[in-house]
Amino acid sequence: MADATVNGAVAGSEASPRGAKPARRLSGRNIMIYGTLIVVCLYYLLPLWVMVMTSLKGMPEVRLGNIFAPPVEMTFQPWVKAWAEACTGLNCDGLSRGFWNSVQITVPSVIVSIFVASVNGYALINWRFKGSEVFFTILIFGSFIPYQVMLYPMVVMLREMGLYGSLTGLVVVHTIFGMPILTLLFRNYFASMPEELFKAARVDGAGFWRIYFHIMLPMSLPIFVVALILQVTGIWNDFLFGVVFISKAENYPMTVQLNNIVNSVQGVKEYNVNMAATMLTGLVPLIIYFISGKLFVRGIAAGAVKG
Amino acid sequence: MATPARKSRVFRNLNAKIAAVPMIFCSVVVFLGFSIWTVVYSFTSSKLLPKANFVGFDQYERLWSNSRWLVSIENLMVFGSLSLIFTIVMGFTLAVLMDQKIRFEDTFRTIMLYPFALSFIVTGLVWQWVLNPDFGIQGIVRGWGWESFSFDPLNNPKLVLYGLLIAGLWQGTGFVMALMLAGLRGIDEDIWKATRVDGIPTWKTYIVVIIPMMRPVFITTLVLVAAGIIKLYDLVIAQTSGGPGNASQVPAMYVYSYMFQAQNLGQGFAASTMMLLSVLIVLIPWAYLEFGGKKHG
Amino acid sequence: MKNFKLAAGLLLSVALPSGAFATDLEITHWWTSGGEAAAVAEFAKAFDATGDHWVDGAIAGGGDTARPVMISRITGGDPMAATQFNHGQQAMELVEAGLMLDLTDVATAEGWKDKIFPPSLLDACTLDGKIYCAPVNIHSPEWLWLNNKVYTDLGLPVPTNWTEFVASAPQVEAAGKVPLALGNQPWQSNLAFGAITVGVGGLELWKKVNVDKDMDAAAGPEMAAVFQAAADARKLAAKSTVQDWNQATNMVITGEAAGQIMGDWAQGEFAVAGKVAGTDYTCLPGLGMNAYLSTGGDAFYFPKLADPEKEAAQKRLAALLVSPEAQVAFNLKKGSLPIRGDIDMGAANDCMKKGLEILASGNLLPTGDMVWSPDVQTQAGDLMVEFWKTDMSAADAQAKWVEILKSGL
């Protein structure tokens, strides 16, 4: 029953909505619906507006007070400073350094974690073996365990492997902790693919990897895109692992650097620079989100609503 | 990746097994093994480096008589329950509204969901700014003439949790709305036709028929949101740093503070074990409900 | 022929070592405020001038944020070449675990034991007779910083001690100023409390509780009076809502607040803002009540590295940090006191001169970090920050505090 609901939900986001056909006039019902939605949207848009407006003002104007007012004298100086000049200690290269660090962290982590998880999902569904379901259940439980519980042993393990503090170590960490949800995602998707395809390929004599690369992969582009979006946003936005597993300040990802710049102060707080910095950090996942909104939603629904 | 040294019919599907080794390794060693390691070492008096000198329940005794820990737990429960209730109610209500064949549905959904794409750090910082007493909402309303208007939750120990709540809801409700909407859309058209034929008003249909039918979605949402709340860390670090005083401390911060700053691993492990316990308390009933004893877990 | 070869060989052996090995050393610290950054730049300049290279690894967020990162790196097998810690027990377990470089040979060659004063600075990092750190400055936490203008504007005399400060606070508050600026971080609450303990309770009481670890004194009536004084001070700081120490100092600099209890490193902020000691601001060591200093401060530790070239460079750095010229340059910018008495601090300002006098007179105390473990310090910080921001009663706070101290015995 739950399975049907899930698959129905995934497929059904394209199905027609509920309710009677809307009357094309200002009925009380319409006012209430649209009114509520608009008020709610104001709540959602407020911070974005404030961020953008503040980041375009000079500091004297910011101090004058009204955070909702558009800038009288618009300036891009805060953005320039946030990107290229903000200081943490003696290093004053701004967020640009953190940006490239985040890119360096995200790209390999995404590739490795998605590859590993898709292979896992594939193996689970099509090549069941004794104990595979047990391990899968443990994996899913594992995704709920708070990271703090596993932090310190993870540090020890990476140290023993000689990977602590390095980029590779962080990629390993992201892969491991991303595995449960992604494996679930791929498993569910592969489960919904017709079994005949797989059986036919086996009859033809194809082995594990051939089927993976020649049949599963090409047919599951949509779910790969969804996984890509989830992982890119998740890893880009990560803070805890960046703080614990990266040891040199020059290798910090953007989120950690952002927190450092904003929450540790050199004299006076420059709110406009801080806002510009915040926006810059949020820009990459936001852009990805805006480009692929519908897919993103479908991905969340498919991956998270378990069956 | 080492080839597992197993026997006989194990060689069937060997490729599959090799490919699945990461998962097996990961789930058993990391999730199971590391958690057990942490629990075991929480019974030691490890300081900066882990040492196996066992001291029984000492760390737990100390933990539960520590005022900061108790405040953290209380905060988490208050924040957690409020967050759960509001997220689900708001999420469901918004989903229902969105389901009403409205125009601009895509726009509305995009607006409600974009905060989810942001990091908790960004969310915490932005709301710290909006709630700033001098420049944020309080400052502006005062500027409009209401001199005595007071809206400074982040500096008021009694209200700071609500400040966090505002930010947390902003980030998470859109996601719950998307989940609920997907669930709503999965409900068979025939059900609606039937209730309409019977003359049951729409709102009643929702409450009496639809919500019970969406039980799996509700439960899943509950579990996801609850699991996320227990891990709460980034948002608090960015928005309030646990202040004022200890008023917005959460368990995850206690763990970090004692493990890495106070150089007292034993305490940190004890606190993490408590976090693990609370997650299990949430999960095990759910697993039983979902899988009804067929799969074990 | 033979002579020529001998001469050439001698010449080469003398010429080669200097400047031949320019080694890069990565050095971590948490000095990121304006004044601090200027000071650490002096060290970097001096080190670069010798031919080696100072690779800066500043970590933002203060000691509490930076130390876990530093320790993780050292225990995680990716150590830096040198790192800052405060005098005291912060690095003790690392030394015990054999992760730090032994500097005894440098200390002997440079005569540290004779020149570094007070000896407690070296004692704090000495294990089994071996020395593991290079102390670089002395910072004392118990100073009261006052903005003169706030008082003169109100027609009040600038207070000369804590009692007068508390007495004139109501008038300051009535004028719309915050009497006492205090940042929200736990260590600042801890610091303020320690200062009040000595200021109000006296040196003997402080020694009894913290050095002798006399728990009866800790639970006794004299400490109860201290807690009461702290509770009173708490009211004065009620409107102070900033986070970092230098934001609180900024409140005093701009006249938003009348005073702050902060260590002598606050001088750097006043200096960067162009304020003059005595004219624009007043500094009262020991809160003006007891002229003494506790000798906290910073020391550099050197994690063991596998590379012998780097190890040689580490030892060169250690010697440099303690050398007279570097000490003068660094401490003048930082506003701290040098760790040796045989240098000329003539360019020091008023406040530093007061500090130097006290240092010379020997009215010194160890700091909390020296006598208690980081675990006790963290717990005390948690308690203090709660005490300062809620209306916890003085009696409750004292009882909990005694529990914490007992756990660290």
pLDDT digits (tens, 9 = 90+) for B127-160: 888 888 877 788 778 777 787 777 888 888 888 8
Q: Least CB-CB distance to A89: which of C58, C75, C250?
A: C58
- Asked whether the beta carbons of residue C383 and residue B67 sit closer than 8 angstroms, the reply is yes
Determine, yes or no, domain membership for B174. Answer: yes
Has residue C227 got a pLDDT over 80?
yes
Residue of C nearest to B266 (CA): C375
Measured between alpha carbons, how far is A190 from A193 in angstroms, rounded to an integer? Answer: 5
Mean of the pLDDT values across residues B18-33?
77
Q: What is the mean pLDDT of chain B?
A: 82
Peptide bond into C186 cis (omega under 30): no
Mean of the pLDDT values across residues A296-305?
58
Is B21 or C100 the better-scoring residue by pLDDT? C100
* pLDDT classification of A74: cutoffs 50, 70, 90: confident
Residue of C193, C364, C356 lying closest to C292 (CA atoms): C364
Lowest mean pLDDT among A227-236, B70-79, B84-93, C257-266: A227-236
Residues 6 or more apart whose Cβ sits within 8 Å of residue A18:
B99, B100, B101, B184, B192
Mutate which: C64, C386, C388, C405, vs B, most B CBs within 10 A: C386
Give the whole-number percent of chain B exceeding pLDDT 70: 92
List CB contacts (< 8 A) between C68 and chain B.
Answer: 256, 260-261
* pLDDT classification of C272: cutoffs 50, 70, 90: confident
Order of strands across the sheet that contains C82-86: C53-58, C24-29, C82-86, C298-301, C133-135
Measured between alpha carbons, how far is C247 from B42 in angstroms, rounded to an integer? Answer: 38
Determine, yes or no, domain membership for B281. Answer: yes
Q: Which residue has the tokens 């031949």?
A: C20
Has residue A88 got a pLDDT over 80?
no
Q: Tell me, what's the pLDDT at C131? A: 93
Phi, psi (deg, nearest 5) at residue B183: -65, -45
Is residue C182 less than 8 Å (CB to CB) from chain B?
Answer: no
Q: Tell me, what's the pLDDT at C136? A: 93
pTM: 0.79
Element (H, E) at B5: none
Q: Tell me, what's the pLDDT at C1? A: 47
Q: Least CB-CB distance to C78: which of A87, A165, A244?
A: A165
Name the token pair of A69.
């007012």
Cα–Cα distances (Å) from C64 to A264, A283, B15, C249, C331, in that order, read 12, 30, 49, 19, 23
Q: What CATH code would you report for A96-305?
A: 1.10.3720.10
- Give how far C214 is from chain B: nearest CA, Å: 22
- A85 within 8 A of A96, measured Cβ to Cβ: no
Has residue B29 got a pLDDT over 50?
yes
List CB contacts (< 8 A) between C382 and chain B.
Answer: 66-68, 246
**pLDDT tens column, A192-250:** 777 788 888 888 877 777 778 887 788 777 778 878 888 888 899 888 888 888 877 77
Mean of the pLDDT values across residues B102-119?
84
Mutate which: A261, A275, A297, A298, vs B, most B CBs within 10 A: A297
Q: What is the ipTM of this complex?
A: 0.76
Q: Least CB-CB distance to B140: which of A45, A66, A127?
A: A66
List CB contacts (< 8 A) between C67 and chain B.
Answer: 261
Determine, yes or no, domain membership for B34. Answer: no
Is residue C247 less than 8 Å (CB to CB) from chain B?
Answer: no
Is residue C389 less than 8 Å (CB to CB) from chain B?
Answer: yes
List CB contacts (< 8 A) between A90 and chain C.
Answer: 37, 40-41, 44, 56, 58
Name the token pair of B159.
């209200």
* pLDDT classification of A1: cutoffs 50, 70, 90: very low
Is residue C407 less than 8 Å (CB to CB) from chain B?
Answer: yes
- B237 within 8 A of A244, measured Cβ to Cβ: no
Q: Tell me, what's the pLDDT at C3? A: 57
Q: Show which of residues 311-340 on chain C sit within 8 Å of chain B, judged by CB atoms.
A: none
Q: Show which of residues 135-154 on chain B sit within 8 Å of chain A, judged by CB atoms.
A: 135-136, 139-140, 143
Domains of chain A, residue spans: 2-55, 96-305
Has residue C60 got a pLDDT over 60?
yes
Number of domains in chain B: 1
Q: What is the mean pLDDT of chain C?
A: 86
Range of the domain at B95: 60-291
- Give how far A90 is from chain B: nearest CA, Å: 23
Is residue A304 less than 8 Å (CB to CB) from chain B?
Answer: yes
Mean of the pLDDT values across residues A149-155?
83
CATH of the domain at B250: 1.10.3720.10
CB burial string A189-198: b at 16+ within 10 A, e below? bbeebeeeeb
Has residue A299 got a pLDDT over 70?
no
Q: Which residue has the tokens 């400055």?
A: C137
